[in-house]
Amino acid sequence: MAVGWRIQLALTGVLGALVALTALAPARAAVPSFEPVSYALRLAGTNGYTITIAAAAEAAGGRGAVTVSVRRPGAFAYYTADGTVTTTSIRADFGSLGRIDAIVKPSGRTERVKVHACGPYTETFEPGVVEGSIDFQGEGGFTAVAASRAPLVPEASFFGDRPFGACSGNSELFSPGLPGARLKGVSYAGGRILLFQFNKNRPRARTLFRATLKERRGGLSIFREVRGVAAPGAFRFGRRLRKVTLAPPAPFAGTASTRRSPDAVSPLWSGDLTVDFPGNFGFPIAGPAVHVSLEHARRTPGDSSAVFH
């Protein structure tokens, strides 16, 4: 009898579990599924800038983000705002910088296209157009676009425009015996993140530079970057790196220098050096709010490591 009672109890438990699962099934089936959507489109901006817009949503109701990237050789910026992205529309408000309110019209056919993002490769892409209001004007009018129609482009083409450029980066070697130098600066003043770096592999070599600025303004997330190559005289230093002077050309203005104190953790950094980022001009990159490091270094292109860590 004890054995029979246990079997009966076990069967009762199984049947109860099946009934509970059956009751839950309709509730689970009622939850709507959501397919992520994403688009990219490209237009010509003023002053030689190319404007690429990426829109994506990964939540029900189309809640997502829209990013406007602005690029020309040596200068880059992108602006990200909350938006609504569905299979038929893209909407986002960039405040005083503009807005996007457009209908997506896919062609209904797919094709294989070659894209260049982290190296060339082929992907499946559905052509189409976006129609409506596409308006964006960068701060100070450094670039602008106003259009009622734009073609869709492969999404990977947007990621090829990412601020840190190509997938391969640069490696750096540090040693007191090296003839080159690296000056690296950082500041978190005003709730913004400033990073910059100057490199020379020897005193008479070219000067490589890069500066980035991250900030938030009016609900927008903004990233800006300038990079390039300057003459050897833009970055001058002595053999022992006791003193360094920066006097780079545009997009910089002014000069700055370091002075190494025996009791200081990092060199003292002073001057009136500024940089013109896209949409943020004359930004100061010298003074007590900016901390710098100075080392003998050699920079080698082509490695997978990033310049900024």
**Count of structural domains within the chain:** 2
23 falls within a domain:
no
Token output for 55: 């829109």
What's the rounded Cα separation, in Å, for the pair 190 and 287?
Answer: 14
pLDDT of residue 157: 63
- Kindly indicate the confidence band of residue 263, based on its pLDDT and cuts at 50, 70 and 90: low
- Average pLDDT rounded to a whole number, residues 6-17: 35
Residue-wise pLDDT for 201-219, tens only, equals: 999 999 999 999 999 998 9
User: Using an 8 Å Cβ cutoff, are 9 and 16 in contact?
Assistant: no
Which of 46-55, 59-68, 80-89, 129-138 is the least confident region?
Answer: 59-68
pLDDT of residue 71: 95
Which residue, among 72, 71, 75, has the nearest Cα to 210 in the 3D structure?
A: 75
Which of 67-81, 110-124, 224-238, 274-288 is the least confident region?
Answer: 110-124
- Kindly indicate the confidence band of residue 261, based on its pLDDT and cuts at 50, 70 and 90: low
Q: What is the CATH number of the domain that holds 130?
A: 2.40.128
Count of CB atoms situated within 10 Å of the CB of 309: 6
Instruction: Pick the last residue of a domain from 159, 180, 204.
Output: 159
Token output for 304: 């997978």
pLDDT of residue 130: 96
State residue 278 phi and psi, 5-degree precision: -60, 115
- Average pLDDT rounded to a whole number, residues 134-144: 96
What's the rounded Cα separation, in Å, for the pair 277 and 142?
Answer: 10
What's the rounded Cα separation, in Å, for the pair 152 and 154?
Answer: 7
- Average pLDDT rounded to a whole number, residues 285-293: 93
The pTM of this model reads: 0.81
The DSSP element (H or E) to which 158 belongs, if any, is: helix 156-159
Q: Please, is 99 exposed, middle or buried when counting C-beta atoms within 10 Å of its C-beta (0-12, 13-18, 19+)? A: middle
- Average pLDDT rounded to a whole number, residues 254-282: 87
Q: Which residue has the higher pLDDT, 254 or 155?
A: 254
What's the rounded Cα separation, in Å, for the pair 98 and 90?
Answer: 14
- Kindly indicate the confidence band of residue 125, based on its pLDDT and cuts at 50, 70 and 90: confident
What's the rounded Cα separation, in Å, for the pair 167 and 165?
Answer: 7
Q: Which residue has the higher pLDDT, 253 or 121?
A: 253
55 falls within a domain:
yes
177 falls within a domain:
yes
Q: 82 lies in which domain range? A: 37-159
117 falls within a domain:
yes
- Average pLDDT rounded to a whole number, residues 33-38: 74
The secondary structure of residue 232, as a DSSP letter, is G
- Kindly indicate the confidence band of residue 303, based on its pLDDT and cuts at 50, 70 and 90: very low
Q: Are residues 200 and 251 in the same domain?
A: yes
30-33, long-range: CB within 8 Å, 24+ apart, which pairs?
Answer: 32/60
116 falls within a domain:
yes
User: Using an 8 Å Cβ cutoff, are 116 and 92 in contact?
Assistant: no
